[in-house]
Every structure is written in structure tokens, then in C-alpha cells.
Amino acid sequence: MPQTPAARPRRRRSRLGATLSALVRTRVTAGILTAMPILLTLWIVRLVFGWLRDASMWLVDWFLLSPQGKGVLERWGIAAERLEREGLSALPIEWQWAISLFSVLLTFFLLYLIGLFAANVIGQRLLDLLDLIVSRMPFVKTVYGSLKQVFSLFSGEQKRNFQRVALVPFPNEITRSVAFITNSAHDAVTGEELVSVFIPTTPNPTSGYMFLVRRRDVVELNWSVEEAVKIIISGGLLSPPPLTFKLGHAVPVGPAAAPPT
């Protein structure tokens, strides 16, 4: 049956609408994929900036509300009572930014002083005394001790251990999961070498599992931590560097690692 003239324009409009809809979806998706890394980066930078600013803001507030600080506020034409009531929003916008940047720099300076203090003998003695006091406090000693062990991973020998990426048999003997070797030990009975590994989850690598596995079941990789984290966050979408499941076999690096054509 031949198509009527009215049916042909409707079909053309339908095709045009479908094309425009697909084009809009494609462009919106591309816009989201482009904007999300930028927005997330800005959000993280803002979050970290806020932490650093707030860590020493109490010192700035203490100075501004002191007799010397009140004199400074008077020269700015701001009453101390208003600052105490409204906070930084009582100041001109340029002074808000200046004080925030000063607080961040002050935080870095205080962290430097703490590190300098902890590196000398007197500081070490006082920190040992602090550990002794905290170890006698119920619940607090558990939280403090656990956090101290976690942060010790990022210094000295523990940091070097954490830089090792490996494959471990998880969740079964057939599959392998990307893990970070965090420490090593020995079986108290057999003397066999054991390693503690952290297996991060996808797409959030800050959570995961900690297991003790036999050293002979672990395949160490020549990946960097950054490469491993990128693959974990992407859910495997990014192509991993060369790897092998075979124990005791090193993977070549560079052009030699390319598969034969």
C-alpha cells in the first residue's frame, strides 16, 4: 500500500527527533565526563584547603580578639564584637582570602615545627612519654595505637614495603586480586615466610581487606602504586601493564614486554 504524503513527513520528523536526541545524549555524556574530573579535583582541593585553614584558624581568632588584634580591627573599621559574632564574614572579602591563605601557611609552619621537634632527642622522649600515658587510657589507646600504626606505613621501611604491588589468590584459588604488600612475618611453627597484604576495593581504594598469605602464593609485580590505583579506580577499564600469574617469573619492562606480532 503506497504511503500517504502525510506519513512521509511524520517519519522524517521522527528520524530527525531520534537523531537530535542521540546527539544531545552524546554531547551531555561527553560534557559530564569532561567536567566531573575537574569538579572533583576542585572539590578535593577545596576540602583540603579548608582542613589546613581550620587547623590554625583558632590561632588567628585568638590574635584578632586579643588587645593587639582589637587595635588592628579598629584600624580596619571593624568592631571586635562583630567579628566574634559573625566570624570571617565580618571582614572584607580580600581580608577573608588573605587570612585564609595565612592560616594555611601557618598550618604548614606548625607541621614543620612538629616534625622538627619529633626528630630530636627531647622530642622523642616526650613522644615516648605521651605513648606511655595514652597506653594507660582505655579505648583511647586502641584508637591511637591503630592510627599510629597506619600512619607509620608512610615512613621509613614501612613506606618502602607499601610501595610493592602484587597479585594474591582472592577470592578463590583461580582468580587473582591486585594488592599492596604492607608487612612480612614468619610462621611461628614452620618458619615459612608470610606477608600481610591490603586488597583495595573498586572503585574506592581507601576501603578493602587485610589478609595474611604465604609468601610463595604471592606474585610481585613491577607496577607502581599509581598504576595499580588507576586500574582499581577504573574497574579495570585502563589497560594494565604487563603481568603474569606464574609464580617466580619476572615480567620484562619496556619494549621487550610488548607481545610478538
127 and 167 share one domain? no
Q: Which amino acid is at 164?
A: R
Within 13 Å of residue 231, how many CA atoms lie on the same side as its CB?
A: 17
Entry pTM: 0.53
CA distances from 242 to 227, 228, 253 (A): 11, 12, 8
Q: Could you tell me if residue 196 is inside a domain? A: yes
In tens, the pLDDT along 93-149 reads 777 888 889 899 999 999 888 888 878 878 788 888 888 888 888 887 787 777 776
CATH number at residue 208: 2.30.30
Q: Could you tell me if residue 51 is inside a domain? A: no
Q: Could you tell me if residue 21 is inside a domain? A: no
Number of domains in the chain: 2
173 and 236 share one domain? yes
In tens, the pLDDT along 16-49 reads 667 777 778 888 888 888 888 888 888 888 888 8
Domain containing 180: what range?
161-248
238 and 183 share one domain? yes
Q: Does the pLDDT of residue 152 top 70, yes or no?
A: no
| Residue 19, Ramachandran bin (φ over 0: left; ψ between -120 and 50: alpha; else beta) | alpha
199 and 142 share one domain? no
